[in-house]
Amino acid sequence: MNEDELEELTERHEREEIWNQVRAAFESRDRPSEPLVYEIHPLAEDVQCVLSGKTWEDVTAHDLQQIRLDLHFLRPEAFWYYFLAIAWHALVGEEPVDDPAGWTVVVLTPRESQDVQLLDRFVASLSREERSAVSRFIRWHSDEESYLPNRENLLEFWSR
């Protein structure tokens, strides 16, 4: 085994470990009730249509591609339920998806002081295990990205 193959194997193992932690932390969550989104807005309606009636396991790479820029419309309980689908596709899924970890990190990054308060409310329902799994997912993504806007705010928030 050459150095590149060893590095790839090590990275795959790390991704599987993170996935196992995320799944263990979130798998007991029940599918949220409808509506899944906060408000009536054409983009929110698209998110609702794509995810309505689906378990996290039913969410395809194509589904995520359709809603990737609109995850912020999800109510917290829906976001955290479908976080399993996002993490699966980001970490171990075999279908190519354009940066699901990146879209998620955008939603979970405080940019200003008032964002911290809003994000605190958004993550209030997370258990210690769930928050730890999300934090590890975020650190993994941060390590993978050479440029990540507001990296310091993101890492500080999720290390609390």
Q: What value does the mean pLDDT of the chain take?
A: 92
Report the pLDDT value the prediction gives residue 47, as an integer from 0 to 100: 96
CA distance 87 to 108: 14
CA distance 147 to 67: 23
pLDDT at 114 over 70: no
Alpha helices in the chain, H assignment, sequence order: 3-26, 42-51, 61-67, 76-91, 100-107, 113-123, 128-144, 151-158
- 117-135 pLDDT, tens digit each: 889 989 999 999 999 999 9
Question: Could you identify the residue written with the tokens 């955290």?
Answer: 80
Report the pLDDT value the prediction gives residue 111, as an integer from 0 to 100: 81
- 28-44 pLDDT, tens digit each: 999 999 999 987 788 88
5 pLDDT band (50/70/90 cuts)? confident
Give residues with Cβ within 8 angstroms of 154, minimum separation 6. Answer: 105, 108, 109, 110, 138, 142, 148
Question: Does residue 119 contact residue 157 with C-beta atoms inside 8 Å?
Answer: yes
Q: Which of 47, 56, 50, 134 is nearest to 89 (CA)?
A: 56
The average pLDDT across 12-21 equals: 96
Share of the chain above pLDDT 90, in %: 74
Overall domain count for the chain: 1
User: What is the domain extent for residue 28?
Assistant: 3-158
Report the pLDDT value the prediction gives residue 135, as an integer from 0 to 100: 97
The average pLDDT across 46-75 equals: 95
pLDDT at 45 over 70: yes
Q: Which of 149, 34, 17 is nearest to 87 (CA)?
A: 17
- pTM flag (> 0.75): yes
pLDDT at 150 over 70: yes
Question: Does residue 61 contact residue 90 with C-beta atoms inside 8 Å?
Answer: no
